Structure 1
C-alpha cells in the first residue's frame, strides 16, 4: 500500500503560492491539504499552479467555524461545492458544532453525503474540538446514526478534551470502532493538556508519540488488510498559537515547517 504525505498550507499563508508549492515539492510531499478561495478565477489559478508542480490536492473545509445556526448549512454547502468543483482527491471537512443537537449535526453530514454523491468527490469528517466529533465519548451515537460516516483521524483533539491519552478500556473500545471508518490521518501529537506537543521529538513527549503511533499503526494495518491502494497522511503541526510560544517575546518554541518534515520522515521510516 502506498502512503501519500500532504503538506498543510496552514502556517505558510505568508508565502506566495508558487514559492509554497515549490518548497512543498522539494521537501518530498505528494501534495497539499488546503482551503481555496471562493473567487473562481483565483481558485482555478491556484489549482493550475499546483498542477504545474505535480502536487495532489486534499480540499480542506474549516470556514464554517463562525457560522450561526441559521446560516450554517448554506455556508457549509457553498464551501464544499467550491472545493468539489476542482476535483480534489477528496475533501476533509470540519463539520457541525459541539453545541448543535445531534439531529442537526446528522443533517449536516447527510448534506455532505448528498454533495459527495452529486459531485463524485468523497468527503470525510475530521475529529476536531468544537465540531460534532469533539470528544471520543460522543462518537458511538454518531457511528450508529451514520453507518457510512468516513473520518479524518486527528486524535490529538480527543486527548486534550478528555485530559488523557485515551487509555481507559471504554476509550480503547471506541477507538477500535473508529479505526475502520478512517480514510485520512492528521499526524499531530497531542497530550493530556494540549492538542499539540511543543516538540514531537522531545523525550518528555515520547509516551504521547508512542500512543499516536500505535493508533496510526492500527489504521494502516486495516487499510493493508482491506487491500486499499493508498492512505493519505498530513503531518499537521500547527503554527502559533497552536505552537507554544515564549512569554512576552511570543517566539515559537519549535520551527513548524521543520517539525512537520520531521513527522513525515519519521512516519515514512516507521511504516517502511
Structure 2
C-alpha cells in the first residue's frame, strides 16, 4: 500500500514539474519606439517581458547602447532580418547573407527573417532560404522565416508549396497577414493550416481581420471572433512547440504604430494605444494557456 502511495505521489510530482517547466518567453517589438534603448528596455522589463525583438542598429554607438541596455535589464534578444527587394537578385542575396552572418555573431536566441519576395521566382526565394539554413547550422542559432505580405510566404497556399519542397524550412507565424490576404479568418482551412502549425517555431502576436492586418483595438468586443481565432491557432502552435523546445516557446507581441495602427483622419491620431495593445496580447495568451503570472 505504501509503495502505491509513493508511486502516486511521484507521478503527480513529475506532472507538476513538467507543467512548471512549460512557459512562453514574451518579447516586445521596438517598432515605433521613440525611447532610447535603456529607457525602452526598462519599460519592457517592468511590463513583464522576457526580451525584445529589434532590427540590428546600423550605427556602432547604437549597437553599443543596445548591448548595454539588454545586459543591464536582463533581457533576451531576437533580431529581425530581411531581403532587400530594392537590389537586383544576386546583390540582394549577397547582402542578405553578409548581414545575417553579422547578426548571428551577436548570438541572439533566434533570428526572424522577412525572406524573399512575392515577385521572385521559386528558385530565387529558395536561394534565400538555403542561405539562411546554412548560416543557421554554422552558428547553431535558429533562423525562422516570417509569414508576411510581400515575401515568399505572402499567402497560405503559397507557403504550403515551400513547406512541401523545403523540409528544413521553419516559420515565424504572423497569421494576421493572411487574414487580410484571404479576406477571411481562414475558416475551413484547417487542412492548409496544419502543416504551417507543424512548422511554426515563433509567433508574432497581432490580431488581423478580413479587411486589414491589424484591428484598431484588440480589447473591443467587435473583434472577439478575430481574437479567439488567433488564440486558437497560437494555442495549438505553442502546445506543439513545448514538446519540441523543452517546454519553452517564444512569442513577440507586434501591434504596430500609426499608420499601421488605424488612425483618425486629418489628425492621424491612433485609435488605441500600441503599448497597451501589445501588453493585452501577452496577457490574453497567458490567460488562454493559464500560465502563471
The TM tier, using the shorter chain, reads over 0.9
1:263 is matched with which residue: 271, 281, 288? 281
- Contact 1:47–1:86 (8 Å) recurs in 2: no
2:226 is matched with which residue: 208, 214, 236? 208
C-alpha RMSD of the superposition: 1.5
Cα deviation 1:83-106 (Å, max 9, x = unaligned): 111100010001000010011101
- Contact 2:31–2:257 (8 Å) recurs in 1: yes
Q: TM-score, normalised by structure 1?
A: 0.94
- Contact 2:83–2:115 (8 Å) recurs in 1: no
Cα deviation 1:11-53 (Å, max 9, x = unaligned): 11x2111111111111110000001123455424412321111
Counterparts of 1:234 and 1:108, CA distance in 2:
23
Structure 1, unmatched stretches of 5+, are: none
Specify whether residues 37 and 51 from structure 1 end up closer, same or farther in structure 2 by C-alpha distance, changes over 3 A only. Answer: same
SS at structure 2 position matched to 1:66: coil
Which deviates more from structure 2 when the two are superposed, residues 180-189 or residues 38-47? 38-47
- Which residue of structure 2 lines up, in the alignment, with residue 183 of structure 1? 201
Which deviates more from structure 2 when the two are superposed, residues 41-50 or residues 257-266? 41-50
SS at structure 1 position matched to 2:79: strand
How many residue pairs get aligned? The number is 269
1:142 aligns with 2:178: no
Moved over 3 A (4+): 38-42, 65-68, 224-227
2:242 is matched with which residue: 220, 224, 227? 224
Structure 2, unmatched stretches of 5+, are: 1-21
Task: Map residues 38-57 of structure 1 onto 2, 5 A cutoff.
Answer: 38-40=58-60, 42-57=62-77
Counterparts of 2:239 and 2:23, CA distance in 1:
12
Cα deviation 1:223-271 (Å, max 9, x = unaligned): 2344633000111000011100000111000110111111111211221
1:158 aligns with 2:178: yes
- Which residue of structure 1 lines up, in the alignment, with residue 145 of structure 2? 125
Higher Rg of the two aligned structures = 2
- Which residue of structure 2 lines up, in the alignment, with residue 33 of structure 1? 53
- Contact 2:235–2:288 (8 Å) recurs in 1: no
Counterparts of 2:114 and 2:123, CA distance in 1:
17
